[in-house]
């Protein structure tokens, strides 16, 4: 049988590791059957019948995606047209992949005495911590996992899952997710660093593999896990230049479930390059600034940017109990996630605009924007301005 290369959009990191998703043509392994997401009519929701239908057309099932009433499959090209002609099938999307933008990284450092990273200081998180440390707010990090034994994170890690391989844990085999985790909630102790909210509950949702790449279907399963486990905020330090309907549908359903969604804007360093999912209206899009309060040269910007946060030379936790400084909108995003969690931990007040006694995603976003610091940059660069933890929790 003749081998063919399949064109697949890919997702990549958004740091020197931002994890970004781009809409490029695949450098993906050539396959005879390509990975697809088969989306069904609403009324056709029986999983057994869905699986039987795709199998009858020669597809091999990867996993059901209940959140969007779909099944991820390996599908022979010649079967796609026939499957698409079935009345039960709405659409067949690409199962896009995620890749790390790997740049040379400094060597990790062993445990130093605790310091206050400049980004935490700049957004006045240490001042906000006299009001709240974000105790028990549930934050999911959809990433490469978290170093589950890291001494500066251990006390705050309350759960983990691996949607790539259900038999494995959410332990980090890359380092990117662990770095994000430390920015959000490194423990306030004598070692390393301190996070935005050192009492936040962290959940490792491993959707990206060791090399920083993963499939959209694994990310969608991660959203489903977040809803079922009542996550309150989701960190997405990844993105794509290409739109994908299954991706947006999964985002919309997660947002509708009341989850605050925050994503890195992207590391494309140019105007009108904000990546998906940051570009979707349900998601808070975060650009990166440096210690000079200027937009980082690598940061994507455009009208979809909602807020800015520190993203240059950010020191945080790394795999195997280590620490590292990294650059990227991947690092800016968790600053905003941490502040969103602090906001959720404060008493409801004037910003509970619908009076339901809880903070919904739009209420949290409004609060973050209303209390942001104007840096004098364009709105395409800074959105509402720099996120300010001290003002957001007042």
Sign of torsion over alpha carbons 213, 217, 218, 224: positive
Which residue, 14 or 183, is less far from Ca ion as judged by CB? 183
E strands, 138-291, in order? 138-143, 157-162, 201-206, 214-215, 233-236, 238-239, 260-264, 284-289
Q: Which stretch binds Ca ion (CB under 5 A): 6-14, 86-94, 119-127, 145-153?
A: 145-153
Single out the residue of 45, 111, 189, 211 in contact with Ca ion (rule: CB under 5 A): 189
335 is catalytic: no
* Residue 112 C-beta: closest distance to Ca ion, Å: 10
330 is catalytic: yes
* Residue 106 C-beta: closest distance to Ca ion, Å: 20
Q: By CB under 5 A, is residue 114 in contact with Ca ion? A: yes
Q: Per-residue DSSP letters for 296-335?
A: PTT--BSTT--EEEE-SSEEEEEGGGEEEEE-SHHHHHHH
* Residue 181 C-beta: closest distance to Ca ion, Å: 12
**In angstroms, rounded to a whole number, what is the distance separating the alpha carbons of residues 9 and 105?**
26
**In angstroms, rounded to a whole number, what is the distance separating the alpha carbons of residues 336 and 263?**
9
**In angstroms, rounded to a whole number, what is the distance separating the alpha carbons of residues 90 and 79?**
15
* Residue 191 C-beta: closest distance to Ca ion, Å: 5
Q: Which stretch binds Ca ion (CB under 5 A): 143-151, 190-198, 276-284, 331-339?
A: 190-198
Q: By CB under 5 A, is residue 192 in contact with Ca ion? A: yes
**In angstroms, rounded to a whole number, what is the distance separating the alpha carbons of residues 319 and 340?**
25
Q: Is 125 helix (H, G, I), strand (E, B) or coil?
A: helix
Q: Which of 95, 330, 335, 390 is catalytic?
A: 330
Which residue, 114 or 366, is less far from Ca ion as judged by CB? 114
Which residue, 235 or 316, is less far from Ca ion as judged by CB? 316
Backbone φ and ψ of 141, nearest 5°: -110, 105
Q: Which stretch binds Ca ion (CB under 5 A): 31-39, 184-192, 327-335, 376-384?
A: 184-192
Q: Is 159 exposed, middle or buried (0-12, 13-18, 19+ CB in 10 A)?
A: middle
143 is catalytic: yes
* Residue 316 C-beta: closest distance to Ca ion, Å: 10
Q: Which stretch binds Ca ion (CB under 5 A): 153-161, 182-190, 290-298, 365-373?
A: 182-190
* Residue 108 C-beta: closest distance to Ca ion, Å: 16
Which residue, 170 or 192, is less far from Ca ion as judged by CB? 192
Q: Which of 143, 147, 268, 306 is catalytic?
A: 143
**In angstroms, rounded to a whole number, what is the distance separating the alpha carbons of residues 116 and 34?**
47
Window 17 to 76, contacts with Ca ion (CB under 5 A): none
Q: By CB under 5 A, is residue 152 in contact with Ca ion? A: yes
Q: Which residues contact 286 (CB under 8 A, 6 or more apart)?
A: 262, 263, 264, 265, 278, 305, 306, 307, 308, 309, 329, 332, 333, 335, 336, 387
Supply 45's token pair.
Answer: 């929701």
Q: Which of 95, 150, 152, 176 is catalytic?
A: 176
Which residue, 5 or 189, is less far from Ca ion as judged by CB? 189
Q: Which residues are catalytic?
A: 143, 176, 330
Can you give the binding site for Ca ion, defined by CB under 5 A?
114, 152, 186-187, 189, 192
């Amino acid at each position: 049988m003749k081998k063919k290369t399949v064109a697949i959009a890919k997702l990549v990191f958004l740091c020197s590791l931002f994890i970004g998703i781009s809409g490029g043509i695949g450098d993906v392994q050539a396959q005879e059957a390509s990975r697809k997401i088969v989306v069904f009519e609403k009324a056709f929701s029986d999983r057994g019948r869905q699986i039987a239908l795709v199998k009858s057309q020669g597809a091999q099932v990867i996993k059901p995606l209940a959140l969007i009433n779909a099944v991820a499959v390996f599908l022979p090209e010649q079967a796609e047209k026939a499957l698409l002609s079935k009345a039960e099938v709405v659409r067949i999307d690409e199962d896009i992949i995620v890749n790390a933008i790997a740049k040379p990284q400094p060597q990790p450092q062993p445990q130093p005495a605790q310091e206050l990273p400049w980004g935490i200081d700049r957004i006045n998180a240490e001042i906000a911590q006299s009001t709240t440390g974000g105790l028990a707010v549930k934050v999911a990090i959809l990433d490469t996992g978290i170093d589950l034994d890291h001494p500066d994170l251990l006390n705050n890690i309350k759960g983990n899952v691996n949607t790539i391989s259900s038999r494995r844990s959410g332990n980090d085999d890359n380092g990117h997710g662990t770095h994000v985790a430390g920015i959000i909630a490194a423990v306030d102790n004598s070692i390393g660093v301190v996070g935005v909210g050192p009492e936040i509950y962290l959940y490792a949702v491993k959707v990206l593999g060791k090399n920083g790449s993963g499939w959209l279907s694994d990310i969608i399963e991660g959203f489903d896990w977040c809803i079922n486990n009542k996550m309150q905020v989701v960190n997405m330090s990844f993105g794509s230049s290409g739109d994908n309907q299954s991706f947006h549908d999964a985002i919309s359903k997660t947002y509708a479930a009341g989850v605050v969604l925050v994503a890195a804007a992207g590391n494309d360093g140019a105007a009108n390059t904000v990546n998906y999912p940051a570009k979707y209206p349900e998601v808070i899009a975060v650009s990166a600034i440096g210690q000079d309060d200027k937009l980082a040269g690598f940061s994507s910007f455009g009208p979809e940017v909602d807020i800015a946060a520190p993203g240059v030379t950010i020191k945080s936790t790394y795999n195997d109990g280590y620490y590292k400084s990294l650059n990227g909108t991947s690092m800016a995003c968790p600053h905003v996630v941490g502040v969103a969690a602090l906001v959720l931990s404060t008493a409801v007040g004037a910003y509970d605009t619908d009076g339901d006694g809880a903070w919904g995603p739009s209420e949290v976003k409004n609060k973050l924007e209303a209390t942001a610091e104007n840096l004098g940059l364009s709105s395409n660069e800074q959105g509402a301005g720099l996120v300010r933890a001290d003002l957001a929790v007042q």
